[in-house]
Structures are given as structure tokens and as C-alpha cells.
Amino acid sequence: MSKTSLFLRSLCFGIVQVVFTPIWACVCFLTIWLPFPLRYYIATRWNVITIWFAKIICGIDYQIIGKENLPDVPSILLSKHQSAWETIFLISVAPKPLSFVLKKELLYIPFFGWALALMRNIPIDRSQGVSAIRQLVRKGSQRLKDGQWVVIFPEGTRTAVGKKGKYLNGGSRLAMESRAPVVPIALNAGECWPRNSFIKKPGMITVSIGKAISPEGLTADELMKEVESWIESEMHRISPDIYPPNES
């Protein structure tokens, strides 16, 4: 596909999002008095429709491997993070409402951030260090008790395709405190929806869901090491042509 075609398709997608997002944010504001499950369902139609727009306009499709590995109990999803795509998509994977651990600055984005604030997510100030981890554990434990699933990107930020960030143990510490299972997720969304790039590329994104890991008998560091090992090994399997071999 030519660069001009990629640009025009990406531009079309961007225009649709600029128009669609404020409208849907206003719809979300009107649901503020509704029960949370209904409010969540209405708000997350934005996610479903956006993924559909990405498929129809930009040619970005996806396949899921291992969806049967999702437990029947509230769990902690620990996912690879390459792109904005997975932050939109994961809503459609979990059988229960999700609560994302996210940087508080996202709440300040007009319309989008305001809608995020209605969704019982867990905003943290990453500059607060230990205090931020304590807040994550406290609020995350409460969300799990309430029946929500918690999503954490252990690398903390989006990583370039083929690269690995430092895995932080906030998610495993939450698992130790709550005794909730953790589910590792590997994905290669950055190949189609690159970080810090306006251009979206057509292709098939693979989302691979690993078997749930119990925190029983493990330390927080041991648990995160097991998660890291599975995700990075799986990244080489789903993207063998571009992911560095033997990196874990």
C-alpha cells in the first residue's frame, strides 16, 4: 500500500475519532446517574465502535489465542504495551468490567479523559514511587472485591516493537495482597498501530492470552518474573520476524 493511501486512511480514521469521541463523551455524561454496570456498558460501546472503525477504515484486524484461559473469578490482566490499540481493545476481552491502572494525566484529556473518570479506573501519579504502588494495591484490591478485573501494563509505558521495557512489580504486589490470579497477555499491536505515530497500517494483530498464574507460594518478584518470561517468549512466537531472538 502506498504512503499516500496509508496517510489518507489514517487521516479519515483520525477525523472520525475527532467527531465521534466528543459526541460519545457527552452520552457518557448523561449516564452518570445510572447504575455502574449499565453506565460501563454504554461507555464501552465507544471501544467496540472504535475497533470496528480501525478495521473498516485502516484495515486493522485481530485474532485472539487462548481466550479460554480467562478464569471465572476477578483477575489481574498483565499485558504487553506497544500501542493505544490494546487500551481500547481489552474491554472486549474480559467477561467483567475492567479497571485500568493509568497515569492520572490521562484524565485531563478533554472528553476522553472525562469519560475515563466515570469508569472506576485507577489513576496514579507515577512520580510518587512507593506511595503510588500503595495506592494501586489499595484501590486495585477494592476493585477486585467489587467484581471488576484490573488491567496493568507492567512495563509502565508503551514500548517500541521488538523491544522490552523494565517489568515493574505493582501488578504482582496487588496479586499478593488480593490473592487474585494474574493473566499474562502478549500482543503485537504496535506493528499496525505504532506508538507516537499518526499512520495506521493494515494487518492482523495477534492477542495471546496465557494461563492464569496463582500467586500462592510465590513472592511478588518471582510472580512478575514468571509473567515477564511468558510474555517475552510469546512475543517471539507471535512476531518471529521482528522480535529479537532469545530475549527474555
Residue 227 lies in a domain: yes
Where residue 161 falls among pLDDT bands split at 50, 70, 90?
very high
- % residues pLDDT > 70 (the chain): 98
| pLDDT tens figures, 98-141 | 999 998 888 888 877 877 888 899 999 877 778 888 999 999 99
Helix (H, G, I), strand (E, B) or coil at 186: strand
Specify the pLDDT at position 244.
65
pLDDT at 202 over 80: yes
Residue 216 lies in a domain: yes
Residue 248 lies in a domain: no
**Which pTM value belongs to this model?**
0.92
CA angle 87, 91, 92 (to 5 degrees): 125
More confident residue, 230 or 132: 230
Residue 85 lies in a domain: yes
Residue where the block lists cell 504496535: 190
Instruction: Please count the other Cβ atoms lying within 10 Å of the Cβ belonging to residue 141.
Output: 17
Q: Which three cell numbers stand for residue 203?
A: 494487518
Taking 3-state DSSP, the helix, strand and coil percentages for the chain, each rounded to the nearest 5, stand at 50, 15, 35
Of the candidates 221, 247, 222, the one whose C-alpha atom is nearest the C-alpha of residue 235 is 247
Residue 245 lies in a domain: no
Specify the pLDDT at position 111.
78
Q: What is the amino acid identity at position 183?
A: V
Specify the pLDDT at position 246.
57
- What CATH code is carried by the domain that includes residue 87? 3.40.1130
What CA–CA distance (Å, rounded) separates 238 from 186? 8
Domain count within the chain: 1
| pLDDT tens figures, 14-63 | 999 999 999 998 898 899 899 999 999 999 999 999 999 999 999 999 99
**Do the Cβ atoms of 96 and 147 come closer than 8 Å?**
yes
Residue 246 lies in a domain: no
Residue 244 lies in a domain: no
User: By residue range, what is the domain housing residue 38?
Assistant: 3-238
Over residues 209-232, mean pLDDT: 97
Specify the pLDDT at position 103.
87
* Mutual angle of helices 220-238 and 170-178, in 10-degree steps: 120
Q: What is the mean pLDDT of the chain?
A: 93
Residue 118 lies in a domain: yes
Of the candidates 97, 117, 85, 106, the one whose C-alpha atom is nearest the C-alpha of residue 185 is 85
Among 10-14, 206-210, 244-248, the least confident range: 244-248
Specify the pLDDT at position 152.
97
